[in-house]
Amino acid sequence: MKRTKIAEVLSQPEVGATYCVKGWVRAFRSNRFIQLNDGSTINNLQAVVDFEQFDEAMLKKITTASAVGLTGVLAESQGSGQAVELVVSAIEIIGEANPDDVQKTVMQPKKHSLEYLREQAHLRFRTNTFGAVFRVRHAVSYAIHQFFNDRGFYYIHTPIITGSDAEGAGEMFRVTNLDAAQPPLKEDGSVDFEQDFFGKQVNLTVSGQLEGELAAMGLGSIYTFGPTFRAENSNTSRHLAEFWMIEPEVAFNDIHDNMDLAENMLKYICQYVMDTCKDDLAFLNERETAEQQSKPQNERAELTLIERLQFVVANDFKRITYTEAIDVLMNSSHYKKKKFKYDVSWGTDLQSEHERYLVEKEFKRPVIITDYPASFKAFYMRANEGCESGKETVAAMDILFPGIGEMVGGSQREERLDVLKKKCADFGIHEEELWWYLDTRRFGSVPHAGFGLGFERMVMFVTGMSNIRDVIPFPRTPQNAEF
């Protein structure tokens, strides 16, 4: 008999119909009630076994974590807790699981710490929390493609191996097939990368933006959605060495259009998750609420996870310039009471404590900060006109989210060839290396803008998970590339 997924059985139950379901046993109580989960939904299907009808030795194999196929008639449930249950007439043992071994894993049905679950990332898909997180992760990804497709954007696959450092931060992983023990050397003793696979030094990309801009200069509106790699040694709950980024780029858009696009996209994702992930979201909401109870009163979130999503959808993001943000911070009682660890003054970068203050204390909503000093932003951002000397700013935008910090970073791009060439010189970038990028400014250059959304940070926000390692199946962080 053809298998039906449990999600389908539970969402359109046909009482009296015969079903075959396959999944993993979450629990087998009283030799009678099997809780079966197949990953299609957070909800288990309850199956009822009349033990007198089956061979005892076979029933012994129905243990937590084992895989079984069950066939039977769907009936209204006698017990509370579920509307329907499967009255089992045939059992197929598909994969056994030794109970003693299961005891040593996260599949043992009890509460485990997220740290312990991370050590068993290969098995944590079997838990309620990670089942929910990865179903929601899928939904967010799907929502993003749908959002852009509906608006006439083309999905562009930009290269993963590249010779350029788009962000100029020098945090790159080198890609080479030279013999690490005996690389070919030049006369001066340095490694001769001309003999490397690509005939030059290449690395894993930190951003698909530069190539995305090239595509936007012909296709109009594009987006990338791919893996990005950063060798920054920041062991925080918000950084990964390998993460996924979405980077739209739109010809003829300015910084204001760019802000509108990003705000609409973020709201769309939140609404999509609320509409399509109801069961998982309800579970994650519960989970977070329970976790909050163990925290001191003053550290608890004011809104629940679902309330936060509703809030983001319903309220305009606060938009302020960097200069205004500095003023707000300097006029805050927090600043006057010397509660910030880092200095606040025009020309210094905002630290995460400052960003958190603005988002969580001052405005209590997502905040878009624009027009940052040119000195700490990337070379490609458009120089603002009419700046006071020494106070040059660029048309940058960062979107900060409560509990997360920077969710989106973007800008209007420098489309003026002469200004861009000067920027390259100032940043020590050789024009020959970026000849192809500069070329787009030679042939019908137009104003354009784009941004990058950190995919895992968005998944953190919509799932309420507080560590980025818990929203990607196999996290890569300093000293950690297991699985």
Nearest alpha-carbon partner for 361 in 339, 376, 342: 339
Q: How far is the CB of 422 from Mg ion (least distance, A)?
A: 23
135 binds, among ligand 4AD, Mg ion, none (CB under 5 to 8 A by kind): none
Contact indicator for 394, 377 with CB cutoff of 8 Å: yes
72 binds, among Mg ion, ligand 4AD, none (CB under 5 to 8 A by kind): none
Stretch that binds ligand 4AD, among 150-158, 243-251, 320-328, 356-364 (CB under 6 A): 243-251
26 binds, among ligand 4AD, Mg ion, none (CB under 5 to 8 A by kind): none
Q: How far is the CB of 223 from ligand 4AD (least distance, A)?
A: 10
* Entry field: residues in the chain: 483
Nearer to ligand 4AD, 126 or 457 (CB): 457
Q: Of residues 209-238, which lie at the interface with ligand 4AD (CB under 6 A)?
A: 209, 230, 232
C-beta neighbour count of 347 within 10 angstroms: 11
Contact indicator for 366, 358 with CB cutoff of 8 Å: no
Of 23, 409, 454, 464, which lies in the binding site for Mg ion, with binding defined by CB under 5 A? 409
Q: Give the chain's count of helices (H) and strands (E).
A: 15, 16
450 binds, among ligand 4AD, Mg ion, none (CB under 5 to 8 A by kind): ligand 4AD
* The token pair that represents 482 in the structure block: 């297991």
Measured between alpha carbons, how far is 430 from 424 in angstroms, rounded to an integer? 7
Q: Which of the 8 DSSP states describes residue 249?
A: E
Q: How far is the CB of 426 from ligand 4AD (least distance, A)?
A: 18
Burial of 368 (0-12, 13-18, 19+ CB in 10 A): buried
Helix, strand, coil fractions of the chain, as percent rounded to 5: 35, 25, 40
Contact string 256-285 vs ligand 4AD (x = CB under 6 A): ------------------------------
Measured between alpha carbons, how far is 78 from 85 in angstroms, rounded to an integer? 8
Q: How far is the CB of 460 from ligand 4AD (least distance, A)?
A: 9
Q: Of residues 367-396, which lie at the interface with ligand 4AD (CB under 6 A)?
A: none
Contact string 405-424 vs ligand 4AD (x = CB under 6 A): -xxxxxx-------------
User: Strand pairing partners for 231?
Assistant: none
Nearest alpha-carbon partner for 165 in 405, 428, 458: 428
When asked if residue 402 is in the footprint of ligand 4AD (CB under 6 A), the reply is no
Q: Which residues contact ligand 4AD (rule: CB under 6 A)?
A: 166-167, 207, 209, 230, 232, 239-240, 243, 245, 247, 406-411, 450-452, 454, 456-457
